[in-house]
Amino acid sequence: MSDLIPRPRLVDQGSGSFEFVPRAVVSGPSDLVDGVRLALAVLDLRYAAPGAGSVADEAREAPRSTSGGASEPLSGAITVERDEGLGPESYALTVTSEAVRITAGDAAGALYAGQTLRQLLPPEAFRSTAVPGVRWTVPCGRVEDSPRFPWRGAHLDVARHFMPKREVLRMIDLLAAHKLNRLHLHLVDDQGWRVESRAYPLLHEVGSHRAQTTTKPYREGPEGFDGTPHGGYYTLADLAEIAAYARARAVTVVPEIDVPGHASAIVAAYPHLGADRSKPVEVLDRWGISPVIMSPLPETVDFLATVFSEVIEALGSVPYFHIGGDECVLDDWAASEEITAYQRSLGLDAPADLHAWFLRRLADVLAEHGSRAVVWDEAFVSGRLREDTIVMPWRGMPVGRRAVAAGHDIVATPVFPLYFDYAEASSSEEPLAIGDATTLDDVLAFETVPGSLTPEEASRVLGAQFQLWTERIPDGRALDYRAWPRGCALAQLTWSGDADGFTTALPAHLARLDAYGVEYRPLAGPHPWQRGGTGLRAHHPGEVKVRDIMRHVEELAHDADSTRPSLA
């Protein structure tokens, strides 16, 4: 029981083991049993409703062949009970040689108890189906567990490089296996719009694809393009499927429609929504910050209100909705007589004030749907947010400290060490990354709650998430490489609260990822086929250092009027 990731709050290992038999029985309330069966799908557990003793008895009394050919009774089943006093996502797991008992605070707690049992089984429990010759045994003992933070997540950018639905569902499975409970889907950016809209179909018909993609590796590298179209989008039915799949695995999907900047794909589809209607706009084929920005006029708010409604209806339940607000170039607002007149009619002094007003207006729209707005930290720097708006301080925890002091909840998302599009080593063997290096040890050393916070301010730190920006993550294999095992470390920090025991437990956990088929980055460095080589995927170590970038963005964040940080 010492190699569990994330580490449970309390582990008391006993002597002996319990052996599961084919189609063993699990009994208890159906909503709790569903999570256990899902986590232990490889065992093909049978469900027995509470009180259905005949089914459980059948399983216990069926013969089991011994090595000498004799038969012996099968030992018992899993029982699951509810105890709301344990709290959300919490559970207690007791394993004896005769049976397994789970007590859970809710369905998520039961699922996580099942995930702990899965890790206690041989690594083959992470395969898609049972393989022959495996004894499905778990050690006897007791585990008591609950999470340190309520927000434990991953951000997946599907706008820069589209990830097919299968990759999103697979990511949800991996999050659940690590007791991570938020999937932040970055659904739109300059390089693509990724959601069907029945009200505004040009969004997916025009905005979902670009003619080509830049091959320029860094800011100062040679300009070039691959000449290959790229695109894709999720239908509203796809979104509904993704959300239902996630809910069954205790994962909340947090959609992001990033506005008013990062808007090339939107304005390419509907030019009248742009602040400067004199310029033709296409879906962007290169990385970096575009000056294209949406108009903040009422027509734009109405447009976004309709699109938000479509996304919320498809997802079914959206407690959190991210509206971006970052890296906005406000020049076109300042140059527009119409927008300036509107700004003045609202009693606002400057475009930065209008930026804040616009995001608050959208947050009010979302509140009517029961959703809390989430923003990147530039929106907080602008001020005037709704009090219930959640801030993601990507430019560093100093911004986060100011946000919690102002009464906002935050989710820690700093570039260093939680942007996993940075390479894990400053080495030419690494595949192309935005820069280097953010190591596994860097993630493990991250302090989610800065020690300078007061207890009240600390209570406003909801948790943390790692970011997978996909400019340089073109497919699922690259996604695996960037996400794991650094994502395992973030899972431990947000669930357990610290890194104790992680390094010792990791080798056994990597065997589980091997069985699952995860193409993670090996601790000793990339496999030969994972290396960047000398072509377009070549990494040039040292050209962009994450610590230098972090110093730069923290300096920008100290200026409360800064709305144009530069991180290309």
Check if 509 is active-site. no
Q: Assess contact for 77 and 24: CB atoms under 8 A.
A: yes
Task: Report pTM.
Answer: 0.94
Taking 60 as the threshold, does the pLDDT of residue 76 lie above it? no
**Which pLDDT value is given to residue 218?**
82
The answer to whether the CB of 89 falls within 8 A of the CB of 105 is: yes
Average pLDDT over residues 21-40: 94
pLDDT digits (tens, 9 = 90+) for 135-178: 999 999 999 999 999 999 999 999 999 999 999 999 999 999 99
pLDDT of residue 245: 98
Say if residue 314's pLDDT is above 60: yes
Q: Span 420-449, mean pLDDT?
A: 97
Whether the pLDDT of residue 199 is over 70: the answer is yes
Distance CA(344)–CA(358), nearest Å, equals: 14
Tell me the per-residue pLDDT of 367-391, one tens digit each, with 9 for 90 and over. Answer: 999 999 999 999 987 678 999 999 9
Q: How many CB atoms lie within 10 A of CB 12?
A: 11
Q: Give the chain's end-to-end CA distance (angstroms, integer).
A: 44
pLDDT, residue 58, reads: 45
pLDDT at 54 over 60: no
SS3 breakdown of the chain: % helix, strand, coil, rounded to 5?
A: 35, 20, 45
pLDDT of residue 66: 37
Q: Encoding tokens for residue 91?
A: 């559970």
Residue 565 has pLDDT above 60, yes or no: no
The count of other CB atoms within 10 Å of the CB of residue 199 is 10
Q: Which residue among 106, 327, 471, 519 is the active-site one?
A: 327
- Enumerate the β-bridge partners of residue 538: 431
pLDDT > 70: percent of the chain? 93
pLDDT category, 227, cuts 50, 70, 90? very high
Question: What is the rounded CA–CA span in Å between residue 176 and residue 114?
Answer: 11
Q: On the CB side of 155, how many CA atoms lie within 13 Å of its CA?
A: 29
Q: What is the pLDDT of residue 132?
A: 94
Give me the pLDDT at residue 68, please.
40
How does residue 223 score in pLDDT terms, banded at 50, 70 and 90? confident
**Residue 382, pLDDT score:** 64
Among the listed residues 34, 89, 189, 519, the single catalytic one is 189
**pLDDT of 53 above 90:** no
In the block, which residue shows the tokens 């434990």?
152
What integer is the mean pLDDT of 350-358?
96
- Region 4-29: mean pLDDT is 95
The position carrying tokens 């970011």 is: 467
Tens of pLDDT, residue by residue over 55-73, are 444 444 443 433 344 333 3
Pick the range with the lowest mean pLDDT from 25-39, 43-57, 406-420: 43-57
Q: Which pLDDT does position 567 carry in this prediction?
A: 35
Tell me the mean pLDDT in the region 12-16: 96
Inform me whether the pLDDT recorded for 356 exceeds 90: yes
Measured in degrees and rounded to the nearest 5, phi and psi for residue 156 equal: -125, 115
Quick check: is 262 catalytic? yes
Q: Clarify whether 19 is annotated catalytic.
A: no
Give 511-535 pLDDT, tens digit per residue: 999 999 999 999 999 999 999 999 9
Give the model's pLDDT for residue 131.
95
pLDDT band at 217, cuts 50/70/90?
A: confident
- The DSSP result for 184-218, as a single string, is EEE-EETTEE-B--SSSTHHHHTTTEES--B---S
Predicted pLDDT at 221:
76
Q: Which of 288, 308, 330 is nearest to 160 (CA)?
A: 288
- Single out the catalytic residue among 262, 322, 509, 539: 262
pLDDT value at residue 305: 98
| pLDDT given at position 558 | 76
Check pLDDT > 60 for residue 566: no
pLDDT at 61: 42
Copy the structure tokens of residue 176: 């659940």
**CA 304 to CA 110: how far, in whole Å?**
38
Instruction: Give the pLDDT score at 63.
Output: 39
Q: Give the burial string for 359-369 (b: 16+ CB within 10 Å, else e).
A: bbbbbebbeee
Q: How far apart are CA 103 and CA 111, in angstroms?
A: 11
Rounded mean pLDDT of the chain?
A: 93
Note the pLDDT of residue 472. 97
Mean pLDDT, residues 551-558 taken together? 85
Whether residue 125 contacts residue 40, with contact meaning beta carbons closer than 8 Å, is answered with: yes
Q: Are 183 and 251 in contact (CB under 8 A)?
A: yes
State yes or no: pLDDT of 481 exceeds 50. Answer: yes
Question: In the block, which residue shows the tokens 């290396």?
Answer: 531
